[in-house]
Structure 1
Amino acid sequence: DTKVTEGGLNVTLTIRLLMHGKEVGSIIGKKGETVKKMREESAARINISEGSCPERIVTITGPTDAIFKAFSMIALKFEEDINASMTNSTVTSKPPVTLRLVVPASQCGSLIGKGGSKIKEIRESTGAQVQVAGDMLPNSTERAVTISGTPDAIIQCVKQICVVMLESPPKGATIPYRPKPASAPIIFAGGQ
């Protein structure tokens, strides 16, 4: 387990996640207790975009170790939700935990690597599935990066993605993706 901080990478970083309303509800928790606990334990700043949209942006900012802690708490919470939803179901195989990161398109090239070499390396070394969307998110210069796997695989994967993002900062201006309110026809990112 390489300590990211040793490479002088203990800088403040911002990672943005795309979530559905139900996932956001799970992260916020009753009366905001879950997100409060995540903020306190990870020491990361966790902001959630306002609530009229079916998709919301969760922004996590802090030193890299705070971000990893926040991510691990989110991944574990989602795993809990999956376990809870399976209690009464007949499904035998457990679906993986899935997180969607929003990454400036200018950084996606570095994340994919020459001929897909970098993303293949990340998949193989972490055991997580990683997919970079081919198209940009509507009205933005960002793409969705979908990570799925066990919470542990996801955390390892996020660490590697953070390293890539720190090594190759975005070029030019980034137009951030803003989810549309529910009144507009809903087109989900990633063509689901």
Structure 2
Amino acid sequence: MSFAITPAIPTGALSASVQPSLPASGSDVLLRPWEANDAPALLRAFQDPSIQYWHTHHVTSREEAQEWIVASHRSWQLEQAAQWAITLADGGEVLGRIALRWMDLLHGLAECAYWVLPNARGMGLAPRALAVLAHWALSEAGFRRLELAHAVGNEASCRVATKAGFVLEGTRRSAHLQSDGWHDMHLHARLQRGT
């Protein structure tokens, strides 16, 4: 089937190369693709009550963590999603996760998602990582719009989005099912310059 519009990002534009590591200019943050030996850090993250509460997908074993990492590489090749581990630029331990959890290349649209491990919270790491991801996605990869949705009750996530330049556009009522029921979601977005 053909489209009446030219895709914002041509099919194959991302998967033609390996998923990049994204260093932050003038910052200590590095986003890098997940590696097989990151499985223990991923498993540890999903044992945190806050990450468990705000995320519907869980990792409950080292095998699931390894499968998750393999799936993250496959989703890049299929141009469906992109996942990065958040580390410090010196290549230290995994401190969090950031992602384009789904990507629509036709419209140049993607949704961001993130979490940070307890020992790295309160350092401003999540907004810096989100800003790095947004810069790459909007300035280099060719996305025109990035969205970010979080439960209205997740005030920390709201602060991260705002600090990274994502404008609050509204509330999607009863839009996301969590373990304790349906949550209203704040919708934030950041646009490519000039749009």
- TM above 0.5, yes or no, is no
Larger strand percent: 2
Q: TM-score, normalised by structure 2?
A: 0.31
Q: TM-score, normalised by structure 1?
A: 0.31
Larger helix percent: 1
